Amino acid sequence: MIHQTRLFVPAITPFKADLSVDTARFVAHCKLLLEDGADGLAPFGTTSEATSMSVAERMSALDALVDAGIPATRLIPGTGCSALPDSIALTRHALAHGVRGTLTLPPFFYKPVSPDGLFASYARLIEAVGSDSLRLYLYHIPQMTGVGITLDLIGRLTTEFPGIVAGLKDSSGNWDNTAAVIAAFPEIETYSASESLLVRNVAAGGAGCISASANVNVAGIMALIRALGTPDEAARLEAVGVIRALFEQVPLIPAIKATVARRLSDPDYAITRPPLMRLDASHDAAILRACALCFGGNTP
């Protein structure tokens, strides 16, 4: 096994009623996720509504995490924007904090994008950051970006910039793609976006998961990681799968935020920024069930 199995949580970003970033709740929740036992955090991802935040808001929120004593080495912040200067600014800022790496979307407005154009986007970013310390995690989420991270792209980047590409998060939900990335590039850390794929991910040589539902189920997912290869594995996998399946029947990000809000008896955690909408009461039963499964002592 090349890679230790790890869980990074794409932490939600709480907002205030006026839709400004709620830094205090953000820091509190991130600390809680680490206290829950997560290996680290991947803030400013899709679950974090990062593409709905300005560059200044993202920098300020990262500063707040570090200022609060969260070790930068446990952070893989998202830094990919549609505009290259923004991606460069965020990546430099994160690197200056000494983060473990950055999880970086491709530019996501133009589609289709040529292979050369996609390569040039990452190449210019790497060159502009200009640091051997950069550890880039490529973010494959074609259902949002319309632009996928191909095996060819990974190959070109690892050849041109040895040691810089540290990993990939595969949010496509397509296991065959994840398996192909791991098989072709076993030296990089390939993460699945769902804990339901964790057993397959690790068996194939992957590095673990970066999962939205980890915002509410660190304990369950870490229990699965500890159970890998033991007789308890199947039961733990089933348990996280029940919770994951519950969230796949509701608007995922609003439901995760609503579940955090319910856990902490703090409704403001449920606030989203447009275009995402706060979960309405029609989903209350699902959220109650999620809370019972995640925090009610009912997990097996």
**According to CB under 8 A, which one of 2, 4, 63, 117 is a site residue for its own copies?**
117
Q: Give least dist CB 237 to its own copies, A.
A: 29
Nearest to 185 by CA among 213, 200, 163: 163
Of the pair 179, 270, the CB lying nearest its own copies is at 270
**According to CB under 8 A, which one of 5, 47, 121, 259 is a site residue for its own copies?**
121
For tokens 């907002």, name the residue.
15
Q: Where are the alpha helices (DSSP H) in 164-295?
A: 175-184, 198-204, 214-227, 233-247, 252-263, 284-295
Interactions with its own copies, residue window 240-259 (CB under 8 A) = 251
CA 160 to chain centre: 26
Tokens of 174: 């397509």
Interactions with its own copies, residue window 62-81 (CB under 8 A) = 81
User: What is d(CA 252, CA 250) in angstroms, rounded to the nearest whole number?
Assistant: 6
Interactions with its own copies, residue window 273-292 (CB under 8 A) = 273-277
8-state DSSP, 107: P
Q: Give least dist CB 28 to its own copies, A.
A: 23
Q: Give least dist CB 210 to its own copies, A.
A: 17
Q: Determine, following the binding rule CB under 8 A, whether residue 17 of this chain makes contact with its own copies.
A: no
Cα–Cα separations (whole angstroms), residue 114 to 121, 127, 191, 291:
11, 20, 25, 44
Phi first, then psi: what are they for 18, rounded to 5°?
-85, 10
Q: Which residues are CB-neighbours of 119 under 8 A, at least 6 positions away? A: 153, 156, 157
Q: Give least dist CB 42 to its own copies, A.
A: 16
**According to CB under 8 A, which one of 28, 31, 32, 51 is a site residue for its own copies?**
51
Of the candidate spans 33-41, 92-100, 119-127, 171-179, the one that interacts with its own copies by CB under 8 A turns out to be 119-127
Of the candidate spans 6-14, 45-53, 157-165, 242-250, the one that interacts with its own copies by CB under 8 A turns out to be 45-53
One-letter identity of residue 180: A
Q: Give least dist CB 151 to its own copies, A.
A: 18
41 strand-pairing partners? 9, 75
What residues line the site for its own copies (CB under 8 A)? 19, 46, 51-55, 57, 81-86, 89, 106-111, 113-114, 116-118, 120-121, 124, 143-147, 251, 273-277
